Structure 1
């Protein structure tokens, strides 16, 4: 049995699609976070993957935000699955259950904790020591504590407590538990590229929770635990970090890097993606665990673990499986959903918030046929005009209305005065008009054709034709001169961005940045070294060059 977790930073951005990614990971259970798809944007290619059954959790409040999904091979089909940790989103028979003591949370808090699409729970059966046992896989995307939003810090700690309550309740019920995903906290200094930069590293509330949640012992240096150590009560938690179990002292083992600073090139990151499991399961069944920094496509890398125990698949996926969704189940409802407009009164909350602008525009584009709509409206207008005008003028009216109103060729047609002159010319002149008009239909007016029309008109009036030497410069040339003059004027008035200085250490051009953090310097620009961020001891990393942009220059 092999499990994998990966924060993919958008499931629709995977090169080659989700099928190719799953096959490359070659795992029985693949848990992905930050899918960034909501229920209405889930397409069949993502939801129904050949050889797998999938289970999604979506954000209820924001489009393109959060979201997790668990993909199980058909040989690892779970017996139960549900969305969220509280049970409030579960209304089917395939629920996993065991929610623990939730008395410390209000009903509103529980609803908010599950509304962001941060957890999918699946329950499987495995063979452990010739005995069938249950193992519950909890796929989580824990919140990030935004320093600018104190309420998010409290929300993150609430989510941790809810996760712990659910996991311990499942353990008490007799099931093994595996928790995997993006926890958004680096546990120890060894899991951070530069812990010295954080003065309160050990005092961080998330790290304090991890210290209590995870079991720690002298086994970190001595090797796997014995059975007696597993059964003895300890002050530490009931779960083990699988990676540190097999690699207790490995440094620079990071799973997340900043894309803004190119920190992956210098491996200047953090380890915030984990696979946790209850102590007995790790001691008895875990064979290996590691990270996969060579796998790109996201600002995170996958983490995997392999167990010795085989999985026992269910004969039928639980009701949460995406293949049972109406639009993917092949039912008549799928056809009626797209062809029949259902009138529904939006709730007050929907009327207040509405859909994000980008989502509304996308839905409009998908459900609107501009070509067909334009033909119908044009026919209606033509019929109206036909009935309103006399018979003698009907043809002229129809021809006028049938012309495109914004035809691009109209910008390249000759002036009306020249056309009138050409219409009065002789047969030779008529031939000239045809030639010029043909040129107008295919390309902008050329100097030769314009001169030809002028000369033909001169034959009619008896005036001498002007030659190239005596004729004024064409309008195109005049606009070119004006353009150059105006360009020079604007350059003298508006100063462009200043040339980037070179950093003092590498002598290379710097990059321009803008302060986005709220404060007295928000919006100001500055130059920093253009190399990727890295440790101060790394000569290939960014140096400490910094200078503000002088707006006066």
Structure 2
């Protein structure tokens, strides 16, 4: 059996095909965190993968935030599955159970701890050295403590306490337990890239909780714990922690083994990170079944890397998926037809067989079915049903609309007609006006009073002057346009260029850092405070330890507002 955990930093990590990535891990149970997808945005390709059954937990307060999912091979289908740690999100009779005593929590806090979609629990059956046994896998994405939000630090500690309470309660019921995922706390100085830079490293509340949750912190050999050490651990577990950090069990002195790096500073290039992704298991299971654990820093696509564990036990698959499985979601259970089905021509034979299958026995014989499917042919004409009044009205309206569309189509012409400039109607000279045209202009209601109030000679002079003025205005407009074009060309070549250069400075020239003598990169302060929005230059190299010459130097320079 192989189990794997990975903080994918968004389900879009699987953009090249989720099945291809899942198959590449060759694991029976794959737990992912920080899916950043809500139920309304979950698509069928992600929820239902051929060869796997999946179980999702969504954030109910914020979209594109948190979320975990567990993918199990069909050969490792769990018997039970549950969302959350409190039991408030589980259906009666379908939950894993064993909630323990949730002390020091008010009535509103448990639901708040489960509303961010941070836990999925699956329970499996396996055959080990001691025969059939139960295995409960708790996939968690523990909260991050934001230094600027003290309430989040309290939220994180409460989540830790709830996780420990639930895990120990399930362990006490007789099931083996594996807690895996992003715990968001590096346990020991060896798990941090620069522990000297962290204030009060040992006094961190998250690390104190890990000390209480885990045991076996004594020095171990490179091959793992000895029998005497495991016996000592078992004695300590009665009053202390009951779980083992499986990676440190097999690699107690392995340094620079990190699972998370900052993408903003390019810290992965210099391996300047932390180990905050764990596979934690009860010590009896580690002793009897675990035989290999490691990290996979070569796998990219996220700011975290996967962690896997190999166990010498065989999982038994459940005959059916638990109700929480995505296959049972109403939006994925129906037999949805493909769009291409609507464009496939169904033959008469298929229609006849379909009707005959659906009809009741003895309700119609084959001859009657054929008559209902195909109208009776009389000679060369088909006997048509007499149209009703409503059908006549509908046909008349259709004919009217088709004629109207034809008329509009002839009037509008081709599509290019919309882009042709409209021609200005030319005013004919008075001498060329025919008597009919003169009469129609006299009879028009808009010009009747003007024409009758002045003699014909005066009217002719007035029209001639109007034509002359319009021609002059059109000529002035053309001359004005040409003049403006010339002026705009002159402006581009003239002092306008210098004006805009003086107004728009453009980005400032980057200085050279002192250590590498390379151009720096421009950054902007996004943290709330007096310097919000200010720009500054820093070294362009990736972040790393101070002793690494290829890492970022301490060059820093503010950008002056006047430059």
TM-score range (shorter-chain normalised) is 0.7 to 0.9
**Cα distance 1:158–1:413, how it changes in 2: closer, same or farther (>3 A)?**
same
**Cα distance 1:246–1:479, how it changes in 2: closer, same or farther (>3 A)?**
same
Q: Is the 8 A contact 2:129 2:288 kept in 1?
A: no
Cα displacement (A) at 1:149:
0.5
TM-score after normalising by structure 1: 0.75
- Counterpart of 2:21 in structure 1 is 21
C-alpha distance in structure 2 between counterparts of 1:5 and 1:421, whole Å: 83
Match 1:531 to one of 522, 541, 555:
541
Q: Secondary structure at the match of 2:12?
A: helix
- Counterpart of 1:224 in structure 2 is 225
Q: How does 1:299-448 map to 2 (within 5 A)?
A: 299-330=303-334, 413-414=420-421, 416-417=423-424, 420=426
C-alpha distance in structure 1 between counterparts of 2:240 and 2:169, whole Å: 17
Cα displacement (A) at 1:496:
1.7
- Counterpart of 1:55 in structure 2 is 55
Write the deviation string for residues 406-463 of structure 1: whole angstroms up to 9, x where unpaired.
Answer: x9986x755745x7499xxxxxxxxxxxxxxxxxxxxxxxxxxxxxxxxxxxxxxxxx
**Cα distance 1:38–1:484, how it changes in 2: closer, same or farther (>3 A)?**
farther
- Counterpart of 1:512 in structure 2 is 522
Match 1:493 to one of 495, 500, 503:
503
Q: In the alignment, does 2:255 pair up with 1:251?
A: yes
Q: Name structure 2 gaps, 5 residues minimum.
A: 340-396, 429-474
C-alpha distance in structure 1 between counterparts of 2:332 and 2:155, whole Å: 35
Match 1:280 to one of 276, 284, 287:
284
Cα displacement (A) at 1:188:
0.8
Q: Is the 8 A contact 2:510 2:520 kept in 1?
A: yes
C-alpha distance in structure 2 between counterparts of 1:480 and 1:35, whole Å: 55
C-alpha distance in structure 1 between counterparts of 2:115 and 2:136, whole Å: 22
Match 2:293 to one of 257, 276, 289:
289
C-alpha distance in structure 2 between counterparts of 1:204 and 1:261, whole Å: 24
C-alpha distance in structure 2 between counterparts of 1:329 and 1:35, whole Å: 22
Q: Name structure 1 gaps, 5 residues minimum.
A: 336-382, 388-393, 423-465
Q: In the alignment, does 2:559 pair up with 1:549?
A: yes
Q: Secondary structure at the match of 1:75?
A: helix
Write the deviation string for residues 246-266 of structure 1: whole angstroms up to 9, x where unpaired.
Answer: 000111111011110111111
**Cα distance 1:171–1:497, how it changes in 2: closer, same or farther (>3 A)?**
same
Q: Is the 8 A contact 1:239 1:278 kept in 2?
A: yes
Q: Secondary structure at the match of 2:330?
A: coil
Q: Secondary structure at the match of 1:133?
A: strand
Q: Is the 8 A contact 1:60 1:117 kept in 2?
A: yes
- RMSD, aligned CA: 3.4
Q: How does 1:57-96 map to 2 (within 5 A)?
A: 57-96=57-96
**Cα distance 1:493–1:322, how it changes in 2: closer, same or farther (>3 A)?**
same
Q: Secondary structure at the match of 1:323?
A: helix
**Cα distance 1:71–1:401, how it changes in 2: closer, same or farther (>3 A)?**
farther
Q: Is the 8 A contact 2:216 2:233 kept in 1?
A: no
**Cα distance 1:403–1:288, how it changes in 2: closer, same or farther (>3 A)?**
farther
C-alpha distance in structure 2 between counterparts of 1:213 and 1:300, whole Å: 23
- Counterpart of 1:155 in structure 2 is 155
C-alpha distance in structure 2 between counterparts of 1:403 and 1:497, whole Å: 51
C-alpha distance in structure 1 between counterparts of 2:405 and 2:334, whole Å: 51
Q: Secondary structure at the match of 1:46?
A: helix
- Counterpart of 1:503 in structure 2 is 513
Write the deviation string for residues 247-288 of structure 1: whole angstroms up to 9, x where unpaired.
Answer: 001111110111101111111111110000001100111001
**Cα distance 1:482–1:208, how it changes in 2: closer, same or farther (>3 A)?**
same
**Cα distance 1:215–1:471, how it changes in 2: closer, same or farther (>3 A)?**
closer
C-alpha distance in structure 2 between counterparts of 1:334 and 1:229, whole Å: 62
Q: Is the 8 A contact 2:538 2:556 kept in 1?
A: yes
